Structure 1
Amino acid sequence: MTRIVVAGLGDSGILTAMRLARHHDVVGISTKPALVSGQELGLRLSRPEYWARDYWIGFERFRGLDRVRTVHAELTGVDLSARIVTARGFDGAPIHESYDTLVIATGVTNGFWRQPMLQSADDIGADLRAAHERLASANSVVVIGGGAAAVSAAANIATTWPGTRVDLYHPGARALPHHHDRTWRRVQRRLCEAGVGVHAGYRAVLPEGFRADEITSASVEFSTGQPPVDAEAVVWAIGRVRPNTGWLPAEILDDDGFVRVMPDLRVPGQPGVFAIGDVAATDPLRSSARNRADGLLAHNVRAEIAGRTLRNYRPPQRRWGSVLGPQRDGLEVFAPNGRPFRFPAWSIDRVLQPWIVRRGIYRGVRD
């Protein structure tokens, strides 16, 4: 049976491993003992118990992973010629996994909520509590950034703690620059209704010794000429993503460190090597993680093994999906044209999560 190693078990890696495990011997390697999603930062910060229910799920709970052998380890290297992946286990022991096909899905590092280090369940829980408690005790919060993570953080902090002054500072003329104008106009109204101060054209200067993995409290200065601002807590969601590719040879990476891929998600010049998700340089938005390319990749892996024709991934031109995450009045999901579709609040726990997400997308999640 063909041996497939899936390097990285975030959303894209898990979904790909599930599909491939129906027909092949699949090994998944992850620095976490569970899916710890990078989605819905605002919900993670403001209501961590609610976020954890749907976005922090132990691998043993996924029925689709029953046939996948999961390895809790940090990737350290790969020999593309010998087809062997090396890693360091949670106990420090060296690990070697041979493969016929390698799927690279190691994602990116982004702020304090998406870090690649080895963690136990206790470590993950401690991180969740620390960030939440830091914000809960603050009377003023500044959020720096113009992407969905920053906008979501500002909105959810403001609605959870209405007595806290919350301000969002972003560098462009508008936030959500990769979404449709309609999306931003709708989200901007929601921000104003929540009492968030929205400040356009502010490009923050990173403080000396800046660490992206923490919430700070120092004054924020701007290179665009505005006076500094102060807050008891500063959330940096500035989109400085770094691909988790330090374990890979430079020959398969682009100038920014992302994995080079062809339209069919294969790595050029490397038979049997594919990449998917935020780590794959599919398009400027690296959109395969948010557009269910796991089905296409699984098809292409099987097609390569069988000598059949592979299909190409066609990325959308704009970002789409949820921006603010579940709110008390429901969940808005934006189409690429900026038009929202609303899930009523009652349907999130009764329909969306149990039936569409857990059963439909993840093919069954145990309680």
Structure 2
Amino acid sequence: MSKPRVLIAGLGDTGLLTAIHLAKNADVVGVSAKPGLVSGQELGLRLAKPAEWVRDYWISFDRYRQLDRVRILHGTLVGLDANAKRVTVRHPDGGQSAEPYDALVISTGVSNGFWRRPDLQTIDEVDAGLRAAHERLAAAGSVIVIGGGAAAVSAALNVATAWPDKQVDLYYPGERALPQHHGKVWGVLEKRLRERGVGLHPGHRAVVPDGFACDDITADPVSWSTGQPDEKADAVLWTIGKVRPNTAWLPAELLDEDGFVKVDQHLQVEGRPGVFAIGDVAASDPLRNSARSRADHLLAHNVLASLNGGRLKTFKPARRRWGSVVGAQQDALEVFAPNGSSFKLRPWSKLQPLVVRMAIYKGIRRS
């Protein structure tokens, strides 16, 4: 008896894990615009210490042992015919193919700044982009980081740590940064930012220039809709959470008014049995928390249950953001819980292969 065919649309952090969980029990096909996992996590480390970031967050698909069973297509998704159960993929040479499925997982993520883009890229293009952003900041004497989320805090702290002689300033619209985390988290990281000499500027909301998608490092003066004088720096990082779901290839009836995929409590697309969505692209809860809540195991179960007539599990999202905010520091990875408490994994350089490469991904070959 042949296995059911599951198509994973997008092999970012969560799509890749879902493919790994399903590979033993299904014929899995993954579609990715990248030639490997190019994670959207840990922006600060990506900018300040790209060699360390690449080791953990930019890994070609052929190194994942559990993907040996998965057929991976390098291309972009350009259409879905939900009634016929097939997606259309455009390949790097411009040709297209129709890929059938029995179940579909939508995990195409969002676009958010220069570090999370849906562009079709080669290995050399990914590497060039990483180098360019790092070198741009390395050459800057002063850096402004705009935004109050985890990416902004991570960027400010890691840039100030890597280059202590730079003037780094963090501007955010609220009274505190990290408003979606427990207040204790900001209390801890505010102190560390000040210790690194980062200037903290609450109550600043930037004016986004017309037509600017916040996907470049700029050097133009920054204006504020909150009335403060313009500010200028050699490099300006726009980490303002201006996310755009990568759903242009999907029919409008599957999307909410903001373009995210409408799902029920099982992460199943409303009105489409056998079609699921996970990660930042899925409108699962106000924080779109299914990726951070590690719902990949639950989703894999629900995909197989939908194909075999089994019972689907309910996704229960966390009410606050949680996890690592600034990445590994001084060989320790600090993880914040939803209640604001934290614990450190150290020495991270020795634990990372066990926790990530073996426990989470079930084996990654050496580069």
What is the TM-score when the length of structure 2 is the normalising length?
0.98
Mapping for residues 114-193 of structure 1, pairs under 5 Å: 114-193=116-195
- Look up the match of 2:34: 32
Aligned pairs, how many? 364
CA distance in structure 2 between the partners assigned to 1:110 and 1:43 by the alignment: 17
Q: Secondary structure at the match of 2:37?
A: strand
* Structure 2 residue 279 is the aligned partner of structure 1 residue 280: no
Q: Secondary structure at the match of 1:220?
A: coil
Displacement of 1:330: 2.0
* Counterpart residue identity of residue 178, structure 1: Q
- Look up the match of 2:66: 64
- Look up the match of 1:196: 198
Moved more, 322-331 or 102-111: 322-331
* Structure 2 residue 9 is the aligned partner of structure 1 residue 3: no
- Look up the match of 2:226: 224
Contact 2:331/2:349, CA 8 A, preserved across alignment: no
C-alpha RMSD of the superposition: 0.8
After superposition, give the CA deviation of every residue in 1:117-137 in whole Å (9 maximum; x if it has no partner): 100000000000000000000
Contact 2:331/2:348, CA 8 A, preserved across alignment: no
Q: 1:43 aligns with which of 34, 42, 45?
A: 45
- Look up the match of 2:317: 315
- Look up the match of 1:363: 362
CA distance in structure 2 between the partners assigned to 1:327 and 1:32 by the alignment: 28
Gapped regions of structure 2 (runs ≥ 5) = none
- Look up the match of 2:24: 22
What is the TM-score when the length of structure 1 is the normalising length?
0.98
CA distance in structure 1 between the partners assigned to 2:329 and 2:209 by the alignment: 33
CA distance in structure 2 between the partners assigned to 1:141 and 1:31 by the alignment: 31
* Structure 2 residue 333 is the aligned partner of structure 1 residue 334: no
After superposition, give the CA deviation of every residue in 1:169-220 in whole Å (9 maximum; x if it has no partner): 0001110000001000001001001110010000000123423221000000
- Look up the match of 1:348: 348
- Look up the match of 2:236: 234
CA distance in structure 1 between the partners assigned to 2:324 and 2:142 by the alignment: 26
Contact 2:35/2:61, CA 8 A, preserved across alignment: yes
* Distance change (3 Å), C-alpha of 1:329 and 1:65: closer
Q: Secondary structure at the match of 1:103?
A: strand
Q: Secondary structure at the match of 1:134?
A: helix
Q: Secondary structure at the match of 2:56?
A: helix
Q: Secondary structure at the match of 1:208?
A: coil
Mapping for residues 75-86 of structure 1, pairs under 5 Å: 75-86=77-88
- Look up the match of 1:104: 106
Q: Secondary structure at the match of 2:8?
A: strand
Moved more, 96-105 or 324-333: 324-333
CA distance in structure 2 between the partners assigned to 1:51 and 1:273 by the alignment: 33
* Counterpart residue identity of residue 356, structure 1: V
Q: Secondary structure at the match of 1:289?
A: coil
Q: Secondary structure at the match of 2:79?
A: strand
Moved more, 37-46 or 325-334: 325-334
CA distance in structure 1 between the partners assigned to 2:302 and 2:362 by the alignment: 21
Q: 2:272 aligns with which of 266, 270, 290?
A: 270
CA distance in structure 2 between the partners assigned to 1:326 and 1:223 by the alignment: 35
- Look up the match of 2:252: 250
After superposition, give the CA deviation of every residue in 1:210-232 in whole Å (9 maximum; x if it has no partner): 23221000000000010010000
CA distance in structure 2 between the partners assigned to 1:134 and 1:30 by the alignment: 28
CA distance in structure 2 between the partners assigned to 1:110 and 1:173 by the alignment: 23
Displacement of 1:329: 5.3
After superposition, give the CA deviation of every residue in 1:69-115 in whole Å (9 maximum; x if it has no partner): 00000000010011110011012111210001000000000000000
* Counterpart residue identity of residue 42, structure 2: E
Q: 2:216 aligns with which of 207, 214, 217?
A: 214
> Would you identify which runs of 4 or more consecutive aligned residues in structure 1 move more than 6 Å?
none
CA distance in structure 1 between the partners assigned to 2:144 and 2:209 by the alignment: 15
CA distance in structure 2 between the partners assigned to 1:32 and 1:91 by the alignment: 15
Q: Secondary structure at the match of 1:263?
A: coil
* Counterpart residue identity of residue 70, structure 1: I
Q: Identity, % of aligned pairs?
A: 61
Contact 2:111/2:246, CA 8 A, preserved across alignment: yes
* Counterpart residue identity of residue 348, structure 2: I
CA distance in structure 2 between the partners assigned to 1:270 and 1:154 by the alignment: 42
Displacement of 1:23: 0.6
* Counterpart residue identity of residue 158, structure 2: N
- Look up the match of 1:54: 56
* Counterpart residue identity of residue 296, structure 1: L
